[in-house]
Amino acid sequence: MPRLFTLMLALCISMLAATSIVMASSDPSSGAAGMPGAKGTFEFKPTDWIEGATSWWKDSDGVDPGTAGCHLGTDADGKPNGRMFGEACLPDGLLVESNPGAEELHSHTNDIGHPDMFDCNAWCVGKGASKGVCTVAAAPPCEQSAMCQCD
């Protein structure tokens, strides 16, 4: 019984930590500042996170919620290294939008990025549409990405 309790406690703490990472936001990035639906940034660890490393990246689309993007890992000179991750829809419907500008070489200290979160409905309405949602979309070479789809 104590082992089950310990396992359940560890699982709950892990879920709380993951939730707080997504919900703990700061101001929008400079590329998202002033855009409709911009909720702020949050810390993001890629699935292949490298503790203590300074990693280098380029974003395929910049801050553009209407385009599915791919964040491409590079070396400090901008040469691709095979790492990548796409944008995503969070369980609450917000879009995870990578930044900064398109093809801008930038570093992630401790291999942790700070993507923006967007409310797609607010972004689409701000662009003149009647509504919008976050939807999965292709962004090769990333296997999967996401974007705001407006109606």
Q: What is the three-state SS of 51-98?
A: CCCCEEEEECCCCCCCCCCEEEEECCCCCEEEEEEECEECCCCCEEEC
> pLDDT tens for residues 32-56?
999 999 999 999 999 999 999 999 9
Q: Is residue 13 part of a domain?
A: no
Q: What are phi and psi of 127, to 5 degrees?
A: -90, 0
> pLDDT tens for residues 73-91?
999 999 999 999 999 999 9
Q: What is the pLDDT of residue 88?
A: 97
Q: Is residue 18 part of a domain?
A: no
Task: Tell me the residue range of the domain where 41 lies.
Answer: 26-150
Q: For the whole model, what pTM was predicted?
A: 0.82
Please compute the mean of the pLDDT values over residues 145-150 and round it to a whole number.
Answer: 98
Q: Is residue 5 part of a domain?
A: no
Q: Is residue 122 part of a domain?
A: yes
Q: Is residue 14 part of a domain?
A: no
Q: Is residue 146 part of a domain?
A: yes
Q: Which residue has the higher pLDDT, 19 or 129?
A: 129
Q: What is the pLDDT of residue 6?
A: 33
> pLDDT tens for residues 13-24?
333 333 334 554
Burial class (CB in 10 A: 0-12, 13-18, 19+), 139: buried
Q: Is residue 15 part of a domain?
A: no
Q: Is residue 21 part of a domain?
A: no
Q: How confident is the model at residue 25 (pLDDT cuts 50, 70, 90)?
A: low
Domain count for the chain, please give it: 1
Average pLDDT, the chain: 87
